[in-house]
Structure 1
Amino acid sequence: MRPTSRFWALAALAAAAGGWAVVVGRPVLLAGVCGVCAWLLAQQYRFVAALRTVSGALELTQSSSASRTVTGASTFLTVTARVDPAHSLTLRVDPEAPVGADGAVEPLWLDGRATETTGTYEFEWPVAGTFRVGAPTVTARDRLGLFEQRVVPDAPTPTVAVEPRRPRTVHVGEGGDPIAAGFGDHDAGRSGRGLEPAEVRRYVAGDAFRRIDWKATARLNETHVREFTARTERETQLFVDHRATMATGAPGQTKLDYARHVALAFVDQAGESADRVGCETVGDEGVTGVFEPRADLDHLRAIRRHLDALDPGDDADQRPEPTSTTGEASSPTPTAPDRVRATRQRLDGDESAFAARLRPFFDRPDAYVRAISDRPLYRAVEAAATGAGALWTVVVTDDANRTELREAVKVARGRGPVLVFLTPTPLFEPGGLDDLDAAYDAYVDFEEFRRELAALPEVSAFEVGPADRLSTVLAEAPGEDRARQRRGR
């Protein structure tokens, strides 16, 4: 219980009157002061007794219009306060706005003349995550405003799971042609006893009697045995790039939104297949999340929550300029070793002062390695590639840092197959379809890079983007030579 300023004002006035009564010798005035003090004590007792009654009878309920929503959407929170029977206090109920939501709340009032009050509040959810609505705070005050008490009663605390907006038209494919990829049972690359029949062959000495296929033996009039494909669980390491370049695109339709869609599909399919899957997310400053390969559902849910909450690496006003038609980010990018060697050979035959000044820079064979090793995606992939055992590597990124990606893929091949999912920059740049000729040229440049990656041994590379924008670019591309270029001829 806390006395209010009104109580202290009356108490101070009574104390001043009592002091004055003593000074002037007025016993009647002193008796009046004592009466005021007794009245204040009586009001305090009545407040405590009423508060005890109200605390036991107060019922608070909270409910959300939806337990799941998407970023940018709104939900409604309904708060109801009920007290029965009537009481002599004034109750102020202050709902708590959930963290991560935009919206205003106003207090609810409940006095002795009413037994129930209800308020509905609208909240907008700008960011992804799971948020809990806290219990309201109730402040009780007597009708004269002399005392008040603040309590947090028991009340439901609903949660709202906010997921990023999913892209509406997702294309995954090669050169504009969609593909369907599975993540279920995986071929172990060997034959033997297993669950999936592979082939029927002639019996040879040493084959187990129980492996004889009697139907095939009767049909072919010669003893045959059936081979099976041994199935195995695949361990997958997923790398998701959410650097600043992944912010390109309209809200809810950015590169990161499409990359996240693919990454979540891998996580979901891993759960259905009981595969071990790990995940690392890479931002501008380095690795922002690490999940070691595991197969339990809690682990997969944690990965999903982390991917749902990903944002591009930088704020919007700090994003780099759009990438050039070559697909390299605007920052300097190291040159591949073969190009360095070719340039060095040309400089050997040049005796000019300019060539003499450049020659020392091309005599440093480790410069390329050092420059690439500082890149966050390469660094993360390289660390995973140094482990033991077979590993499927899945990289979800864009085409902004081509040299880094190319070298990261080459390193990852050391532990097993590599899948690369790329978001083509031309399909996401604002106003990128205003000039369809330029958009198509940029897409062809991207497609050449994708094919270059796909041509590497043990590497498959796919494009991920908005199907409607891609079909627009391809349908409007003029020129017979461009059609041949699209088909790779």
Structure 2
Amino acid sequence: MMQPTRRCLAVLGVGSTLAALAVLLQSTLYLYGALGVGAWVVAEAVSFARTVRTVVRETETTQTLSEPTTSVERPLESRVTIADGGVIHGVTGVELSPPLVATHVEGAERIDVTQPSATYSVAGVYEFDVAGTFEFGPATVSLASAQGLFTERAPVGNAVSCTVDPSTPTDIAVGQGGNRISLGVGEHDAEIGGSGFTLGEPRQYVTGDPQGLIDWKTTARQGEPYVREYEAAGELETLLFVDHRHSTAVGPEGRRAGDYLRSVARWLVDYARDRDDPLGFSAIGEEGPTVYSPPSSGTAQYRRIATQIYDLSPTDAGERSTQRPFTELDASSLDGDDVFDRVLSSFAEQRPGYVEQVTEDPLFDTVRSTVARTRGDPWVVLVTTDANQAELTETVRASRKRAAHVTVFVAPQVLFEEGALADLEAAYEQYTAFEEFRRRLVSEHVDVFEVAPGERLDAVLASSGTGREVRR
């Protein structure tokens, strides 16, 4: 909204004085003076309104982010550029509109303009302390009239959103027996009746391929490096189960088993979103499911599940309660983008407590009951640790009966325990025992992958003298 300046108020005061004198002295000279001052102010206002309209509506204003997705404490640049074919008059400043949770760390949040120009640009670097989706609002441009009688602040350009992921480890190794795979490679395979990850054909190594993809057996036979990638197959309803019980707290802060498993779970959400596959999600705590989202597709569903995964943290090992079960709160119908839906959906997602209480084997009972009430043969994906091998074995066995395919991502605790690598020989023996357990889980329509810190896995494998693969 146009605002008068002190100079404008002073000029209007002069005009008022002249008008008063014209009345008191019955003088037309003072009257003409008052009318002249008034006409000058009105003309200035009309001209300034035209200038504001030109800047706001006709100039090309763009706001861009250095990347659409960042992570906690990772710098992100927001840049606003205002450009026109000729000199843009009236602009006195351009200011960014970052979200309240963003911390300005570098660059400028505002520029002050002293000389008219054809282009104005302002760029600021921000960091976020919390994860989520945030919006940089339209930039605010400050304008002043040619004679300094009026000013205005108006939004210009577009708003842009960014997704801030939690800090994640950078050495996530997913594979089998020390041989790593590359997730997200390949398309659905129509020849396979279910979803899951299946070995692709080996191909010759090319510069740039991760060494973790090298197929050492094929390399030994062929006498030159070969790699083998994994493909995701089929298109079925996906049920994702993520364990966040106390066993996922093993490891140093920021590099706990749960941090690695959460990263894999987020990749699975992205995978479903890219293919518009129906996705259901359950998070399992000490007493049972803490979060439940029934299978669905669509942007709102993927965003809701991603947020739920962001918010997961290990539950208390001693968490047992005699309270009656909570009634499930289904937020799947809150798919709109309006403020009401977003706020109510956020409330539903962050509602504390358990949606259902089960017996002593919460992972087993949650998976079994969820799969039982799901129509058709879903793709079941389990993301957990090897803390309770008997429960995981029974869970896989039960899931296999009703699912088209079962994929398990399991974190071996020995590779996360602090101090475990002080005795590499003992650590290797424990890892060998884990690998034997992982292979026992594998069967027809069941794939099992380890999720581990790459550096620690390499250290354990190197200690055995085998280099890349655990002994068979």
- Asked whether the equivalents of residues 424 and 463 of structure 1 are also in contact (C-alpha less than 8 Å), the reply is yes
Structure 1, residues 112-162: CA drift from partner, whole Å, max 9, x if none?
A: 644443222223466666655432122323366543233223x25455566
The residue identity in structure 1 corresponding to 2:318 is: S
Q: Is the 8 A contact 1:385 1:411 kept in 2?
A: no
Matched residue, 2:327: none
> Contact conserved, 1:76 with 1:120, CA < 8 A, in 2?
yes
Query: Pairwise mapping of residues 283-432 of structure 1 onto structure 2 (< 5 A)?
Result: 284=285, 286-288=289-291, 290=293, 292=295, 303=302, 306-307=305-306, 310-314=309-313, 330-331=317-318, 372=359, 375=362, 378-379=365-366, 381-400=368-387, 405=392, 408-409=395-396, 411-416=398-403, 418-429=406-417, 432=420
**Distance change (3 Å), C-alpha of 1:470 and 1:130:** same
**Cross-structure match for 1:45:** 43
Partners of 2:94 and 2:139 within 8 A in 1: yes
Partners of 1:86 and 1:306 in 2: how far apart? Answer: 48
Distance 2:53 2:284 in 1: 50
Matched, 1:122 2:125: yes
TM-superposition CA deviations, 1:441-485 (whole Å, max 9, x none): 76467567657x72899865442213331232344379xxxxxxx
Shift of the alpha carbon at 1:276?
5.8
- Secondary structure at 1:433 match in 2: helix
Under a length normalisation based on structure 2, what TM-score does the superposition of the two structures give? 0.59
Amino acid at match of 2:62: Q
2:229 paired residue number: none
Alpha-carbon contact 2:240-2:380 (below 8 Å) kept: yes
Residue aligning to 1:78: 79
Q: Summarize the alignment of residues 473-488 of structure 1 with structure 2, pairs less than 5 Å apart.
A: 473-476=460-463
Write the mapping of 1:50-449 to structure 2, written as runs, cut at 5 A. 50-56=48-54, 59-64=59-64, 66-71=66-71, 72-82=73-83, 89-97=90-98, 101-103=102-104, 105-110=108-113, 113-124=116-127, 133-142=136-145, 145-153=148-156, 155-157=157-159, 160=162, 167-168=170-171, 170-174=173-177, 176=178, 184-185=189-190, 235-241=237-243, 246=248, 254-256=256-258, 258-260=260-262, 262-263=264-265, 278-282=279-283, 284=285, 286-288=289-291, 290=293, 292=295, 303=302, 306-307=305-306, 310-314=309-313, 330-331=317-318, 372=359, 375=362, 378-379=365-366, 381-400=368-387, 405=392, 408-409=395-396, 411-416=398-403, 418-429=406-417, 432-436=420-424, 439-440=427-428, 443=431
- 2: CA distance between counterparts of 1:293 and 1:89? 51
The question of whether the paired residues in 2 share the 8 Å contact of 1:378 and 1:407 is answered with: no
For residue 97 of structure 1, report the CA deviation from its aligned partner. Answer: 1.8
Q: Secondary structure at the match of 2:309?
A: coil
In structure 2, the CA distance between the partners of 1:271 and 1:56, relative to structure 1 (3 Å rule), is closer
User: 1:398 corresponds to which letter in structure 2?
Assistant: T
Which amino acid in structure 2 is aligned with residue 424 of structure 1?
P
Q: Deviation per CA, 1:58-88: give whole Å up to 9, x if none.
A: 6243353644454254343332334676677
Q: Structure 1 length normalisation: TM-score?
A: 0.57
- Aligned partner of 1:465 in structure 2 is 452
Q: Distance in 2 between matches of 1:394 and 1:65?
A: 34
Displacement of 1:48 in angstroms is: 2.6
Separation in structure 1 between the aligned mates of residue 38 and residue 245 of structure 2, nearest angstrom: 65
CA–CA distance in 1 between the matches of 2:148 and 2:95? 18
Query: What SS does structure 2 have at the residue aligned with 1:395?
Result: strand
How far 1:381 sits from its partner (Å)?
Answer: 4.7
Q: CA deviation at 1:394?
A: 1.8
Assess if the C-alpha contact under 8 Å between 1:280 and 1:287 holds in 2.
no
2:342 matched residue in structure 1: none
- When residues 399 and 78 of structure 1 are mapped into structure 2, their CA distance, relative to the original with a 3 A threshold, is same
Q: Which amino acid aligns with 2:240?
A: L
Confirm or deny: 8 A CA contact 1:87 1:111 kept in the other structure.
no
Q: Any conservation in 2 of the 1:141–1:148 contact (CA below 8 Å)?
A: yes
Q: Are the structure 2 counterparts of residues 180 and 330 from structure 1 closer, same or farther at C-alpha, using a change threshold of 3 Å?
A: same
What SS class does the counterpart of residue 134 from structure 1 fall into? strand
Q: Distance in 2 between matches of 1:37 and 1:404?
A: 90
Residues 186 and 234 in structure 1, CA contact (< 8 A), matched pair in contact too = no
Is the alpha carbon distance of 1:48 and 1:140 closer, same or farther for their aligned partners in structure 2, counting shifts above 3 Å? farther
Q: 1:149 to 1:171 in 2, by over 3 A?
A: closer
Note the alpha carbon deviations across 1:251-278, whole angstroms, 9 max, x for none.
Answer: 8755345435545666787799x89653
Contact 1:378 1:404 in 2 (8 A): no
Would the alpha carbon gap of residues 113 and 388 (structure 1) be closer, same or farther in structure 2, given more than 3 Å must change?
closer
Rg larger in 1 or in 2?
1
CA distance change for structure 1 residues 127 and 19 in 2, over 3 Å: closer, same or farther? same
RMSD: 5.3
Separation in 2, partners of 1:34, 1:398:
89
1:134 to 1:235, Cα distance in 2 relative to 1, 3 A: closer
In the alignment of these two chains, the number of paired residues is: 384
Contact 1:427 1:465 in 2 (8 A): yes
Q: Is the 8 A contact 1:246 1:312 kept in 2?
A: no
Change (3 A) 1:90 1:413: closer
Indicate the residue corresponding to 2:347 in structure 1: none
CA distance in 2, matches of 1:111, 1:235: 60
Residue 224 of structure 1 aligns with which residue?
A: none
Residues 171 and 455 in structure 2, CA contact (< 8 A), matched pair in contact too = no
Q: CA shift at 1:5, angstroms?
A: 6.3
- CA separation of 1:472/1:96 partners in 2, compared to 1, >3 Å: closer, same or farther? same
Q: 1:287 to 1:95 in 2, by over 3 A?
A: same
Structure 1 stretches lacking a partner, 5+ long: 190-230, 321-328, 335-368, 479-485
* Residues 245 and 317, structure 2, Cα contact 8 Å, conserved in 1: no
Mapped to 2, the partners of 1:86 and 1:75 lie a distance apart of: 30
State the distance in 2 between where 1:397 and 1:140 align: 57
